[in-house]
Structure 1
Amino acid sequence: MNQSAPSPFTAADYRARMDRAALTASAAGLAGLLVSPGPDLVWLTGYRPTAMTERLTLLVLPVAGDPVLVVPKLECADAVKAPGAPSLDLRDWTDGVDPYGLVSPLVDAAGTFGVSDSTWALHLLALQGELPRAGFRALTEALPMLRAVKDEAELARLTAAGAAADATFEEIKKVAFAGRREADVAADLDRLLREFGHEQVDFTVVGSGPNGADPHHEADDRVIQHGDTVVLDFGGLMYGYGSDTTRTVQVGDPGEEVRRVHAVVREAQQAGFEAVRPGAACQDVDRAARRVIEDAGYGEYFIHRTGHGIGTTTHEPPYMIEGEQQELVPGMCFSIEPGVYLPGRFGVRIEDIVTVTQNGGVRLNNTDHGLTVVG
């Protein structure tokens, strides 16, 4: 693959995100956001601190006023290098000092705050003690669409990540499957994703034979046999944005039932894709895919939602599931991944990342949906 790295996000980009987040929070009736280390902090500031669960790092983003980053003093040198740091007022604290007391003067003590999902209970409970009149809501519940609609620069990164995952699949088809452990093939997937540009690999599911009936099977020492159906689900981060794709391959000639199940899943995946359009509800994508599988008699074996959002993490809102009435908006990106899992026998799943455009959906994964035969 020959592609140049995208231009880094600028301080102005991060400030625009923080401003937009504050406006969105105000419209939702929140007094502000409290954001701890995790994907929300990375998206808002570009800062990815060292994971220290016991020390408080917190972005305080009020709906009125400037954003403040409360950070341990020993982390300050890294925090000031973050791309979004020029827009932040850094308040450091040293060990032995109560950091939660730094937060209370910065916020409306009686307001309700959106709190990032990744906030440790240790810190949230301490903040509740410091702000007894305040209310707290998880960001996924309070502002589920905060990161859901991607701009052109984000879409470019997701497109590159999808292309790298596609290139990985084209190469993995060439390796030997029969006689090798699932863990060996998973290691090949990890290596290829990195060779094609991923800086982080999040998962490499290799589910062969009966293990394929476990949607999130961890590749193990099972030796792949001739005649096995193998589910391959893999992805990670490239330029800070996610990839996630699934294809099902067959070691040797597939039998009639495998062909039939695969054809049903392929039709369901296509039906879900065709349901993508601005104004449709997320649940419409799930319903379209699920209807095909139910009509074919395999409804009880489709045991998960049809899709999930993707961005700075590989799983985030919106979710393609019954009951989710959030409307699809151009710029949203999510998976469409129906599957059928026959316990003790085999599984089949086909997954693409799709983005919403004014004219419908566009796939970011474009490898063949057919049942690929491998050696």
Structure 2
Amino acid sequence: MKVNVADRLAALRTRMQETGIDLVALGPGAHVHWVAGFHPHPDERPCLLLIGPQREAFLMPSLNAEGARVDTDIAFYPWSDDTGPTAALAAALDAVGASDAGVVSLDETMRADFALLLLGALPKARHGFAGETVGALRMKKSEAEYRELKMNARLDDVAMQTAYAAIRPGISERDIAATVRAQFAADGARPMFTIIGSGPNGAFPHHSVSDRVLQRGDAVVIDIGGSRGDFPSDMTRMAVVGEAPEGYAEVHAVVEAAVRAALAAARPGVRAKTVDAAARTVITDAGYGAYFVHRTGHGLGLEIHEPPYITSTSETVLEAGMVFSIEPGIYLPGRFGIRLEDIVFLREDGPEILSDLPRDVRVCG
């Protein structure tokens, strides 16, 4: 998706003024992609996008400069392996008006040696993290970003139905995952992750895949995502092989009620912890509180996991335009797990679910 760099920089500088930040420093990754529309090559050579009150510049390894120039017209301050980055960094800081920056907003995902190099050049500066600057802006998606997220959700729906079609006694988790990845690829999307947790493996929330062969009576957790363009999808649905295991229907109903409670609580102006509490209360009241072992949700955007995080302690106030998952789960060791996950785009009147696929359990095989 084409990024309007001038608009992104203007929004970021407004945020810098509001938060008293003199310099934003970003390493190769999602924050730079949001601002500049591309990912600089990530390696051990220091590369930083420096954004001052009025000007911006890249500290750029000479080795990567020619390749990066096709993606941006932001000024480069190149350095080579034989000279090192120190002088180029000092020149770049001077160019963006940040040689004496008092408060720096650091990319929390950049390499530690990049951060130490920068802070060494600004010994008097205090620092915070870019979650308060770029991250705060990334949490609210535009309508263009919504359209790409919606498109990827539709691709995820198709891939999920491919998984349903593959499930039968005798097939392995690994083979189902391969079928899902092939479907994403056929639709021009990059497979981002596949969790296929059958039977007792479903009780491990972040089980990936294994060679376990599905058996009649297994419950199967299917958590998959792919990306065509900049934004990924993420969705979890449940299937059973032939018939559900004992006690499954009751637990599925509790998780579905928790999803509905969280959706009802998610409104602009509500704190994220209130949404988590809505889901958690349903599960706890049903007697399964000890088996809901993770947060209710996470933000989704350029990264699969990003703010806002829907946790029991998050004070983040939800706003229209935020995108996040609702994904409560119950995990019964040695038996099965159930997680139901939808990504929502928060509108002024509440959450819009991006998937069109029902959360009902699918009987397969």
Output the TM-score relative to the length of structure 2.
Answer: 0.95
Contact 1:168 1:196 in 2 (8 A): no
Partner Cα distance (1:344, 1:51) in 2: 42
Q: Which amino acid aligns with 1:203?
A: F
Partner Cα distance (2:122, 2:88) in 1: 12
Is 1:161 aligned to 2:147, yes or no?
A: no
Spell out, residue by residue over 1:229-288, the C-alpha distance to the aligned partner (whole angstroms, 9 max, x if none).
110101132211021000011111113411111111111111111112111111111111
Query: Which secondary structure state, in structure 2, belongs to the residue aligned with residue 303 of structure 1?
Result: coil
Match of 2:69 in 1: 80
Q: How does 1:1-375 map to 2 (within 5 A)?
A: 8-10=1-3, 13-52=4-43, 54-62=44-52, 64-82=53-71, 85-86=72-73, 88-105=74-91, 106=93, 107-140=98-131, 144-198=135-189, 200-375=190-365
Partner Cα distance (2:62, 2:276) in 1: 47
Query: Which secondary structure state, in structure 2, belongs to the residue aligned with residue 241 of structure 1?
Result: coil
Provide the identity percentage.
37
Query: Which secondary structure state, in structure 1, belongs to the residue aligned with residue 136 of structure 2?
Result: coil
CA drift at 1:176? 3.4
CA drift at 1:119? 0.7
Q: Which amino acid aligns with 1:231?
A: V
Partner Cα distance (1:252, 1:370) in 2: 15
Q: Which amino acid aligns with 1:99?
A: P
Partner Cα distance (1:313, 1:237) in 2: 10
Contact 2:23 2:101 in 1 (8 A): no
Give structure 1 stretches of 5+ with no counterpart.
1-7
Give structure 2 stretches of 5+ with no counterpart.
none
Partner Cα distance (2:149, 2:157) in 1: 12
Point out the more displaced range, 258-267 or 168-177. 168-177
CA drift at 1:321? 0.8
Contact 1:248 1:348 in 2 (8 A): yes
Root-mean-square deviation (CA, aligned residues, Å) is 1.5
CA drift at 1:319? 0.6
CA drift at 1:110? 4.2
Partner Cα distance (1:216, 1:349) in 2: 11
**Misfit runs of 4+, over 4 Å:** 141-144
Output the TM-score relative to the length of structure 1.
Answer: 0.92
Q: Which amino acid aligns with 2:267?
A: R
Partner Cα distance (1:177, 1:333) in 2: 34
Contact 2:169 2:215 in 1 (8 A): yes
Contact 1:164 1:197 in 2 (8 A): no
